[in-house]
Amino acid sequence: MQKLKYILVSVLLLTFTGSSFLGEIPTQSTHPKLEARQLDQRAKILSNYFAIFNSPLQFQSQDFIDAADTYNLDWKLVPAISGVESTFGKASYGYNAWGWGIYGNQALGFTSWKDGIYTVSEGLKKGYIDQGLTNPILMNRAYATSPSWGWKVNFFMNDLEKFAAKNRVGVTKVTNPLTKTAAASALLAFKW
């Protein structure tokens, strides 16, 4: 019993001094740092638009803008598709607000909203736009079985454009997030 106490005390001392049996404990965090950056005006408009629908995508608006810019898409396209397919994420499966990869009993889910936004944006760019299907009406036959799908997507894109024209807002800069979680950062970013 006495021997067990000495071993336990030794292990605890090694832990508190920063050493271990496997080597030194890293002193730098492996987590990415959060940095202050300017919030794109389109993201703030999109967030306000999503708020009208009580959408769970409201705090992902900067991801929509970043993905649209990365893949050279109209920033309103992917949000508009989510409006048609899931009422802006309210009726979604596994972070899939776009009906992407859902056929009959097959249902594709994503690991996060951001993962879904980027996957769908890349897929639209490579599988539709680069193939000459450059607007929702042309995409309709390949994307959805409903013949009115393209018209509905256009409706939301136009509605979002009108909303943006009426609700131009200033740019907000996010500084000193209190916690290092994406959700908390987003809540701070959109506090106006």
In a domain, 115, yes or no: yes
Domain span at residue 69? 41-189
Residue 103's φ and ψ, nearest 5 degrees, are -135, 120
- Domain with 128 in it: what CATH number? 1.10.530.10
Between residues 5 and 55, the one the model is more confident about: 55
CB contact burial 133-154 (16+ within 10 A = b; e otherwise)? beebeebbeebbeeeebbebbb
Give buried/exposed letters for 84-95 (b at 16+ CB in 10 A, else e): bbbebbeebeeb
Q: pLDDT tens across 110-120, in order? A: 999 999 999 99
Average of per-residue pLDDT across 94-110: 85
Helices marked H in 2-86: 2-16, 41-52, 61-70, 77-86
pLDDT (tens digit, 9 = 90+) per residue, 15-61? 545 544 444 545 555 555 556 667 789 999 999 999 999 999 999 99
4 located within any domain: no
Q: Angle 3-7-13 (CA atoms, 0-180°, nearest 5)?
A: 145
Lowest mean pLDDT among 32-41, 92-101, 150-159, 179-188: 179-188
Q: How many CA atoms lie within 13 A of 90 on its CB side?
A: 10
Asked if residue 130 belongs to a domain, the reply is: yes
Count up the domains in the chain and report the number.
1
The chain-wide mean pLDDT, for the chain, equals 80
C-alpha–C-alpha distance, residues 192 and 187, integer Å:
10
What is the Cα–Cα distance from 146 to 133, expressed in whole angstroms?
A: 17
